Chain A
Amino acid sequence: MGRMKFLCDAERCIECNGCVTACKNEHEVPWGVNRRRVVTMNDGVPGERSISVACMHCSDAPCMAVCPTDCFYKTEDGVVLHDKDQCIGCGYCFFACPFGAPQFPNGPSAFGARGKMDKCTFCAGGPEETGSEAEYEKYGSNRLAEGKLPLCAEMCSTKALLAGDASVVADIFRERVLRRGGGAEAWGWQTAYGGGEQRRERKQDREGQK
């Protein structure tokens, strides 16, 4: 076992937002900060597809590379986390992220006034004592340390959103693809986990994140 990943199956996602409220519920994320959101393409016309998007915990995470204070770290199981005490709210990570994951409590304010960056932790807390009040206040609950997976995936209405060890997630997805004989695109996987290539130019994915 080693590598934690998310996978969203566009053939199954119905844009119900269960993942979004599960996240709010589990971590008491304040109004205006969305660690996870559902994106819909071709809204209202044939070809409509939805995808649940959050921090993908990239293999070669661009946020980690651009952070001027080096507040990011990657856990042994592949989860990208950050130290809020170290974060200066500069927003570089937001511009670097192909998924628009980093969130700022004060919105798109001027440099330094955005507040400390907040993002999906893969329900793995952060650099405070596991299960402590400080960890919960800053990063939310630490389900991974309880032997549980991110609540968004665990509660997904159609089990479109999968989380967990890469091999297990891939196995579940592969079985579905075989059954239906198509719909094999695991959205964002190439960007997040593929060959270390980063595709920072995909700014269109960030539209509406203000």
Chain B
Amino acid sequence: MLTKKSTVGTGVGRRLRSSAARLVGQTMDRRGFLKRSGLGVGAGAIASQLPYNFIGAAEAADAPVAAGAGDTVVRRTVCTHCSVGCAVDAVVKNGVWVRQEPVFDSPINLGAHCAKGASVREHGHGEHRLKYPMKLVDGKYQKISWEEAIEEVGDRLLKIREESGPDAVYWIGSSKHNNEQAYLLRKFVSFWGTNNTDHQARICHSTTVAGVANTWGYGAMTNSYNDMQNAKAMLFIGSNAAEAHPVSLLHILHAKENGAKMIVVDPRFTRTAAKAHQYIRIRSGTDVPFLFGLLYHIFQNGWEDRKYVEDRVFGMEAIREEVLAKWTPDMVEEACGVPEDQMLLAARTMAENRPSTIVWCMGQTQHTIGNAMVRASCILQLALGNIGKAGGGANIFRGHDNVQGATDVGPNPDSLPGYYGLATGSWKHWSNVWGVDYEWVKGRYASQELMEKSGITVSRWIDGVLEDKELIDQPGGKLRAVVYWGHAPNSQTRGAEMVEAMKALDTLVVIDPYPSATASMAAMVRKDGVYLLPAATQFETVGSATASNRSLQWREKVIEPLFESKPDHTIMYAFAKKFGWGEELVKNIKLEKDGHGWDEPNIEDILREINRGTWTIGYSGQSPERLKLHMKNMHTFDVKTLKAQGGPCDGEYFGLPWPCFGTPEMKHPGTPNLYDTSKHVMDGGGNFRANFGVERDGVSLLAGDGSASMGADLQMGYPEFDHLLLKKLGWWGELTDAEKAAAEGKNWKTDPSGGIIRVAMVNHGCHPFGNAKARAVVWNFPDAIPQHREPIYSPRPDMVAKYPTHDDKMKFWRLPTLYKSLQEKVKDISKEYPLVMTSGRLVEYEGGGEETRSNPWLAELQQEMFAEVNPKDANDAGFRNGDYIWVESPTKARLKVRAQVTQRVAPGTVFLPFHFSGWWQGEDMLKFYPEGAAPIVRGEAVNTATTYGYDAVTMMQETKTTLCRVSKA
């Protein structure tokens, strides 16, 4: 009972640890440091009690941290493991990170941490990191110098560009880059001349971003973790917050303690479910029937907010007809297995305890119909009138620490920073911000058409290599090189095919502090052509990160990069120089020499450039100075509202949650809850966005009278602001002459002066993006009204007949994409593979897991990959708890894992955590790792066995519902 999932003898671990200790190299662990310096903890401890301001002043001298004996400083940073954004005080002595202290002042985490957050100091040891650049020579990784690495990789990529065009190289960026690096990478790939770039958001919340933005304007969490303290009911569907976002439970359990009702809907009885008032087990992949099943009871009982729907929602009547006709209790029970009384209870709880909020995560997004599921969630909240209300909202918990930021301003295949898209006007806007000639940028691309065409997604890069050349919708044909720049390979599905794609590549480059999963997979199938470059962690550089609630936090540099690693932006500039456009990349950005004589682009200058260009989503007001001020005055912010009461940030919301409109000088306070009409726009208020025209089928899309934000001069629906509207309203004269010159012919998104925004907001209390209705019907999506469609690999042939998937698509994000043809082909495969295979998170690990499995404090807690299997299925298959079993999927890939026999999953469902890698179908891959860079814990990657299936809007991969069978190994 006291044991963890795997209580293995400690022998293995200890052996690993001591072998790792030999490889420490330049670094020093704390013990070693203490010994050598002859200092105890006392000195550091006293310094850690210095007031933050004092320490801030001390470091303003800007001396390298390593300098000056006895120099103890506290650096304020933010945990890099999830999107909650927990602040960390790092105590640094003589350049060594010696202690980690809780930041009680942080309004987000109040000092609290989960296992990952409480162990981030281990990054200062980094024993299992890649220490120096390496390349694969005859199947073994060999050390090379940085200069060689840049030259060789650069030459290979330039040759490919020469021969096959810029689109033959695929750039996978990272949600673990800070905002500035993520933004610089999008600029970087633009100058390389391709849109073939992506990052983790594709496989995390792309369906959310698309679905939610198309419903009401912005594709982000509407409220905040903190605001959940105001909720009276909370519905979690496809979110295991207790493991994936543990510190959010601080606010959630606080709300529960004060009377909020908690409902958890999941195929698995999660640790979050253990805290719920009502747990509902649904069949994996049936979120639409469930959510519409709730709406059935809401409409039946007249619980919808009629006034709200009338004024602020388009298309609810069509939804109502659909729901009442199609999702009667018997149909709901048939589809998702939940009886009527449970549905009614949940609907009543949400209706009678308003404001009520909904939380969803990957359990909802990672499906072939993820876009429809997330919209069904939005529609539920719109019907209840919960969006734009404190305590309500759609609290969409993002994954990585900066996945929100990388989505907002980073390397996306379908958009320039700030969701500007790829239209000609967008390119002109950004070329102007970058200070480069539009024609020059265009010349970098193979053609204007390709410049404005969305690239291949990270979920499908393998098909960009393996697909028939003629079927790939780009003139250059196949991808020949892939750069993995801060992204795990084992987080993408169809791993068995991925190694084939890796094999077929000309060049594979991995830039990462822990590149080892990709490195080992590649070395398993290749002899050469693989390069590994050690990147610095976020504790070894500065910059901002956007938490899930849209707050930006500034990280100070804790320590200098360990070993030979370099910050990502330094590496970007080095490659840009090699490619011949270094100067263009940093036109507005200062360069500084690092300790090794390399040029490092100034992060603050990059943020200022983001500020100058990103008007659309209000990344324009968060100057480095304002963000730093917030970090120093955390204690002045209220925990429930995130608003500063007095002090230097008086009236502002913590981290200036975007949208923080206008210039920094306009002093917009940030937006704590989106679309909240109860507040003035200059106090973070708002309304739904006018982004879909002003009329549809003869019905106005603008909001009803009286539903504008508080104090707005226009108390009705209105379109977005541009120079014409300003003139029509007679407000043009309120612009300064300089603003007039800049704003002429522009709209609020492209006016480089910010004048249109200033006049609309400050002078007239109006929202620059207009005031419209949210859309319950999204006519530009494949299913305008969300439809249930069975996953491609469904356990229920009868349901496939009733709810078939989409038709195949020939050209979709540059690739042919299968739906119905494949579903038909595998319709009866559940006879051979009868169990649902699903995956999820463990609290101890993050993402692909190489980083966290390299941290001994975490690795000790989860030492083996496992599968949760119901006792019935285990008995049927003839194995017991703790046995090794084979989990085999329809791809024939087999995973050898420990059986965890538990009621946590229902009969017919097998759950596997997705953070493992380093075993391949029963074999330990240790010999394929670069020496000394293998993580402590290795195991089968669930995605080695996952199957085909992609969302029909965003190319999100299906990971949550596929099939498998199990047997004793």
Contacts and interface: CB of A to CB of B under 8 A. Distances in A.
In the complex, are there CB atoms of A and B closer than 8 Å?
Answer: yes
Interface of A: 11-12, 14-22, 24-26, 28, 30-32, 37, 39-41, 43-46, 48-50, 53, 100, 107, 130-133, 135-137, 141-143, 146-148, 151, 154-159, 176, 179-180, 204-209
B76 interface: no
A25 B40 contact: no
Given A31-B17, A133-B34, A180-B258, 10 more contacts: A14-B275, A15-B242, A17-B843, A18-B246, A21-B861, A22-B113, A28-B29, A48-B269, A154-B104, A159-B250
8 contacts: A20-B861, A24-B860, A30-B17, A32-B10, A46-B274, A146-B42, A146-B45, A179-B257
Interface in B241-282: 242-243, 246-247, 249-250, 253, 256-258, 269, 271, 274-275, 279
A151 B40 CA distance: 18
Contacts of B29: 28
Given A16-B843, A159-B250, A136 B34 contact: yes
B2 A44 contact: no
Nearest to A131: B42
B968 interface: no
Interface residues of B, number: 67
Contacts of B1: 39-41, 204, 207-208
A136 B44 CA distance: 13
Contacts of A204: 1
A122 to B, nearest CB: 16
B551 interface: no
B857 interface: yes
Interface stretch (B57-65, B114-122, B196-204, B507-515): B114-122
Nearest to A47: B274
Contacts of B275: 14
B857 A24 contact: yes
A40 B274 CA distance: 11
Given A136-B40, A155-B112, A155-B118, A12 B46 contact: no
B112 A21 contact: no
Contacts, number: 176
A158 B102 CA distance: 13
Contacts of B45: 131, 141, 143, 146, 148
B857 A157 contact: no
Nearest to A175: B257
Nearest to B34: A133
Contact of B112 (A43, A158, A180, A208): A158
Interface of B: 1-4, 7, 9-10, 13-14, 17, 29-31, 34-35, 38-43, 45-46, 48-49, 99-100, 102, 104, 110-119, 121-122, 242-243, 246-247, 249-250, 253, 256-258, 269, 271, 274-275, 279, 843-844, 856-858, 860-861, 868, 902-904
Nearest to B88: A155
Contacts of A176: 257
Given A22-B113, A26-B99, A133 B38 contact: yes
A141 B844 CA distance: 24
A202 B110 CA distance: 36
B546 to A, nearest CB: 21
B41 A136 contact: yes
Contacts of A31: 10, 13-14, 17, 856, 860
Could you say which of B49, B250, B902 has the most chain A C-beta atoms within 10 Å of its C-beta?
B250
Contacts of A130: 42
Contacts of A22: 113, 118-119
Contacts of B902: 43-44
B249 to A, nearest CB: 5
B106 to A, nearest CB: 12
Nearest to B125: A28
Contact of A20 (B35, B115, B856): B115
Given A44-B902, A179-B257, A204-B1, A14 B246 contact: yes
A159 B49 contact: no
A142 B43 CA distance: 12
Contact of A32 (B13, B38, B46): B13
B673 to A, nearest CB: 23
B102 A154 contact: yes
A208 B3 contact: yes
Contacts of A209: 2
A22 to B, nearest CB: 4
A40 B114 CA distance: 16
B271 A15 contact: yes
A20 B115 CA distance: 7
A187 to B, nearest CB: 14
A48 B242 CA distance: 13
A22 B115 CA distance: 7
A38 B250 CA distance: 18
Nearest to B98: A141
Nearest to B115: A17
A207 B112 contact: no
A159 B2 contact: no
A141 B902 CA distance: 39
Nearest to A19: B118
A36 B641 CA distance: 35
Given A46-B269, A130-B42, A157-B247, A16 B257 contact: no
Given A100-B2, A180-B257, A157 B13 contact: no
B102 A155 contact: yes
B256 A131 contact: no
Nearest to B856: A31
A146 B246 CA distance: 28
Given A48-B271, A206-B2, A25 B857 contact: yes
Contacts of B46: 146
Contact of B100 (A25, A40, A135): A25
A75 B902 CA distance: 44
Contacts of A14: 242-243, 246, 249, 271, 275
A43 to B, nearest CB: 7
Contacts of A141: 41, 45, 99
Nearest to B43: A131
The 4 closest A-B CB pairs, nearest first, are: A131-B42, A44-B904, A32-B10, A208-B3
A21 B269 contact: no
Contacts of A155: 102, 111-113, 117-118
Given A46-B279, A133-B38, A21 B257 contact: no
Contacts of B48: 146
Contacts of A16: 114-115, 242-243, 246, 843
Nearest to B109: A157
Given A16-B843, A179-B258, A146 B7 contact: no
Given A16-B115, A48-B274, A131 B13 contact: no
Contacts of B844: 17
Nearest to A9: B253
Nearest to B30: A28
A41 B271 CA distance: 12
A133 B35 contact: yes
A197 B262 CA distance: 39
Nearest to A38: B4
B40 A135 contact: yes
A32 B936 CA distance: 14
A180 to B, nearest CB: 5
B563 to A, nearest CB: 21
A14 B262 CA distance: 15
B251 to A, nearest CB: 9
A204 to B, nearest CB: 7
Given A205-B2, A208-B7, A21 B42 contact: no
Taking each of B99, B102, B253, B279, which has the highest tally of chain A beta carbons within 10 Å of its own beta carbon?
Answer: B253
Contacts of B257: 11, 176, 179-180
A25 B858 CA distance: 10
Given A21-B858, A131-B40, A28 B31 contact: yes
A103 to B, nearest CB: 11
B41 A207 contact: no
Contacts of B243: 14, 16
B32 to A, nearest CB: 10
